[in-house]
Structure 1
Amino acid sequence: MLHHHDDGDVAIITLNRPERRNALSGDLCDMIGEVIHEKEARGSRAIVITGEGTSFCSGADLDGVYGEAFLVSLYGLFNKIMDAKMPVIAAVNGPAIGAGTQLAIACDLRVVDSPAVFGVPTARNGLAVDPWTIRRLAELAGGGAARRLLLGAGQINRDEAHAAGLVDRAGTLQDAVDWAHEIATLAPLSLAYSKTVLNNPERDLDDPTFVDNFEACFNSEDVAEGRLARAEKRKPRFTGK
């Protein structure tokens, strides 16, 4: 159901249920979350999530979607992606429908290939997505696109999603991996701090976690490394310390 491998500092996770167009089951959600935890413990600097075959993720596996356990696993996965210290990039190689769109927007960045479409057809089957999904979709894609997806139960293609802001870069899996390698050279503490603030808009600006992480960046060894690298006219080698 899942393949993963390391490409230097970048971890690549591939949903591997092509016969179900990479639909998410509870077990698969749990497996992805466990791998993300393993990669973070290993010291990966960036993660790319993609799908095997022609689909990124066709949504929730409807054989199990109606149980409470599935929702716990699904939203637990999204929280693990958002709480991970390193940036997570969705390489959307094909349709991302329902939970597939949710998986893509849980990631920090989206690189999207031309066959991709996004859709949230919950109104067609009597289901619903949680408030976080609705607000996150509106934040990333804008209110107009979010309303077309949620209230019209429609779809938007890659180019429409790019124009709306849901797509960060148009490109292939390799483009996503290349970008991940660029990101992997950046200062980990700075990235983790920015991600924490971006993913928690409900917190006050003087939230202790924000303040502590902000100060940790300025007091880190990486600041000294950045200064030294500028003086020596070379690329810095950040360690996240």
Structure 2
Amino acid sequence: MLATTRDGAVSLLTLQRPERRNALNLELCRAIDAAAHAEVEAGARVLVLTGEGTSFCSGADLGGVYGAEFLDALYGMLHGLTRLPVPVVAAVNGPAIGAGTQLALASDLRIADESARFGVPTARNGMAVDAWTMRTLQTVAGGGMARRLMLAAETVDRDEALHCGLADRAGTLDDALAWAAEIATLAPLTLAHNKLVLNGGSDAEIDRTFAACWASEDVREAATARTEKRTPVFRGV
């Protein structure tokens, strides 16, 4: 259902329900949440999310049971990804529809291959997504694109997603892993602080992470590396 592999400081989480186009059910939502937190706890500095086969994630499993338990698991997982102290990169390797677009939005960066598609067709099935989804979509892709997806139930391709900012780069899973490996060499405390600010952390949390950066050994390591004309090696302390 979910495969987890590690290469250095980068952990790859692969949704493995290709027979259901990687649709999210209760078990998969819980598995993503548990694996993401476990990988960060084990030392991963960047997570990459992708889907097995030809789909990133086709949405919520329409054959599943919808209720409070599923919604709690879905939104607990999505919001949990935004609160992780490490960047999350979505390698969108095909359609990301409904909850698939939500999963991409919960990621910090998105690489889309030529088959990527995005859409939130709740108006076609009578369902609804939370305010966080729509506000994040508006922030990332702009008000016009948010309205096209939410009010006209449109689906947009990779090129449109790149144009509006819903996708950050064109590329494959290998490109996403290479980008993640680059990001993993950056200062972890700074990345955690930046992500917290960008995702609307509280003033108290932001004050704490700001102070932690300036008090860290990493800021001194950067200064030493400049003097020694070498690449800094950040330890996150």
TM-score bucket of the superposed structures, by smaller chain: over 0.9
**The residue matched to 2:231 in structure 1 has which SS?**
coil
Q: Which residue of 2 aligns with 1:40?
A: 40
Contact map agreement 1:64 1:70 (CA 8 A) in 2 = no
Instruction: Please list the CA deviations of residues 131-175 of structure 1 after superposition, one character each: whole Å capped at 9, or x if unmatched.
Output: 000000000011111111110001000000100011111100000
Percent identical: 59
Matched position secondary structure for 1:49: strand
Task: State the match for 2:230 in structure 1.
Answer: 234
Q: What is the identity, as a one-letter code, of the residue corresponding to 2:143?
A: G
Aligned to 2:211: 215
Where does residue 193 of structure 1 map in the other structure? 193
Q: How does 1:33-112 map to 2 (within 5 A)?
A: 33-112=33-112
Q: CA RMSD in A?
A: 0.9
- In structure 1, stretches of 5+ residues that fail to align are none
2:24 counterpart of 1:28: no
CA separation in 1, counterparts of 2:13 and 2:204? 33
SS in structure 2 at match of 1:23 = coil
Whichever residue aligns with residue 59 of structure 1, its letter is G
Aligned-partner SS, 2:53: coil
SS at structure 2 position matched to 1:167: coil
The Cα offsets for residues 178-197 of structure 1, whole Å up to 9 and x where unpaired, read as 00000000000000000011
Superposed displacement of residue 21, structure 1 = 0.2
Q: Secondary structure of the residue that 2:38 maps to in structure 1?
A: helix
Larger deviation, residues 192-201 vs 47-56? 192-201
Q: Deviations over 1:32-84 (max 9, x none)?
A: 11001110111101000000000000000012252111100000101221111
Tell me the residue number matched to 1:131: 131
1:200 match: secondary structure: coil
Hey, what's the Cα distance between the residues in 2 that align with 1:21 and 1:130?
23
The 8 Å contact of residues 65 and 71 in structure 1, kept in 2 or not, is answered as: no
Q: Distance in 1 between the 2:22 and 2:222 partners?
A: 42
TM-score with structure 2 length normalisation? 0.98
Shift of 1:122: 0.4
How many pairs align?
237
- Give the secondary-structure state (helix, strand or coil) at the position aligned to 1:77: helix
The 4+ residue runs of structure 1 with deviation greater than 6 A are none
Looking at structure 1, the residues matched to 170 and 13 of structure 2 have their Cα atoms a distance apart, in angstroms, of 19
- Report SS of the residue matched to 1:48: strand
Q: Secondary structure at the match of 1:124?
A: helix
